[in-house]
Chains A and B, each alone.
Chain A
Amino acid sequence: MNGLRYVYAVCRPLGAPLQTALSGVAGDPPRLLAHHGLIAVVSHVPERDFAEEPLRRRLEDLDWLTETARAHQQVIDALTAVTTPLPLRLATVFRDDSGVRVMMEEREQDFLRTLDRLDGRVEWGVKVYVEPEAREPEPAAARPVSGRDYLRQRRTLARAQEDTWQRAEEFAARLHATLSARAEDARLHPPQNSALSEASGQNVLNAAYLVPRAQSEEFVEIVDRTKGEEPGIRVELTGPWAAYSFVDMTEEVGAGGPGEDA
Chain B
Amino acid sequence: MTMASRMPEPYGQGGGANLADILERVLDKGIVIAGDIRINLLDIELLTIKLRLIVASVDKAKEMGIDWWEDDPALSSGARRKELARENAELRERLARLEELTEPEELAEPEELAEPEELEPARARQKPRRDAPREARGNARKESP
Which residue numbers of A lie inside 8 Å of B, CB to CB? 4, 7, 10, 50-52, 55-56, 59-60, 62, 65-66, 69-70, 72-73, 77, 81, 86-95, 99, 103, 107, 114, 124-125, 135, 138, 145-148, 150, 189, 192-193, 195-199, 213, 216-217, 220, 237-241, 244-245, 247-250
Contact = CB atoms under 8 A, between A and B. Distances in A.
Given A60-B49, A238-B17, A52 B38 contact: yes
A135 B118 CA distance: 28
A92 B25 CA distance: 14
Given A56-B45, A94-B35, A147-B124, A77 B10 contact: yes
Nearest to A52: B37
Contact of A99 (B25, B36, B48, B121): B36
A69 B53 CA distance: 13
B27 interface: yes
11 contacts: A62-B53, A62-B56, A66-B19, A69-B26, A73-B22, A73-B25, A89-B30, A198-B61, A217-B6, A238-B13, A238-B21
A147 B7 CA distance: 58
Contact of B39 (A7, A56, A114, A150): A56
B114 interface: no
A189 B121 CA distance: 47
B94 interface: no
B37 A4 contact: yes
B81 interface: no
B70 interface: no
A146 B115 CA distance: 11
Interface in B67-88: 72, 74
B117 A146 contact: yes
B80 to A, nearest CB: 12
A195 B57 contact: yes
Contacts of B21: 125, 197, 238
Interface in B84-107: none
